[in-house]
Amino acid sequence: MKKGIISLMLLAMSSLSFAQDADLNLPGERWITSFKDYVCNNRSGEVAAPTEFAQMNVKFETATTDYSLDNGLIKATFEENGKVCRYSALLLADNLIASISLVDSKAYAVNGDTDCTEGKEILDNAFRGPNDYLYYGHPHNLAIMVPLADADNICPNNGSTIGVNFVLSGRVQ
């Protein structure tokens, strides 16, 4: 618990020190994953993008973690009012119970021409948690199970969640 509180404080402080138009930063990034697909579980294979994400043209890019694997950073883009927004979110995992929760997030327009608040709220609500995560396969996959309105249509009997699935790319250079 003490480790988690210290991690949260460090993450919060690191996010305050960056410019308004820059992604959040994860000190000590060590492992990097790349977005692969959406899944229902660790055996389902790729499924359709959830409507909420498809309507905003969400494109997840990477998820990185620090050495502890407790702290993570997701980066993505989405569209709002026809403009491109960047999104970054710091997450804290509880590896004992395989859950992950949003600590902080940021969204900004690439060209400064929209406020990106609607898309940020949708993504924040999905990652707020605590959300279960799946870590499986070879190469290693990390699927963050997020609650979305149409998850039951895509993944019946899955508890209204769909997995945002990343695959391990290696170490951060």
Q: What is the pLDDT of residues 148-160, one digit of tens each?
A: 999 999 999 888 9
Average pLDDT over residues 65-86: 96
Instruction: Count the domains in the chain.
Output: 1
Asked if residues 84 and 73 have their Cβ atoms less than 8 Å apart, the reply is no
Instruction: Tell me whether residue 20 is in a domain.
Output: no
Q: What domain range includes position 40? A: 29-171
At 88 the three-state DSSP class reads strand
Domain membership flag for residue 18:
no
Residue 10 covered by a domain:
no
Q: Is residue 37 part of a domain?
A: yes
Quote the tokens at residue 31.
Answer: 């492992």
pLDDT tens digit sequence for 47-61: 999 999 999 999 999
In a domain, 113, yes or no: yes
Could you tell me if residue 13 is inside a domain?
no
Tell me how far apart the terminal alpha carbons of the chain are, to the nearest angstrom.
30
Domain with 76 in it: what CATH number?
2.40.128
- The single-letter code of the amino acid at 141 is N
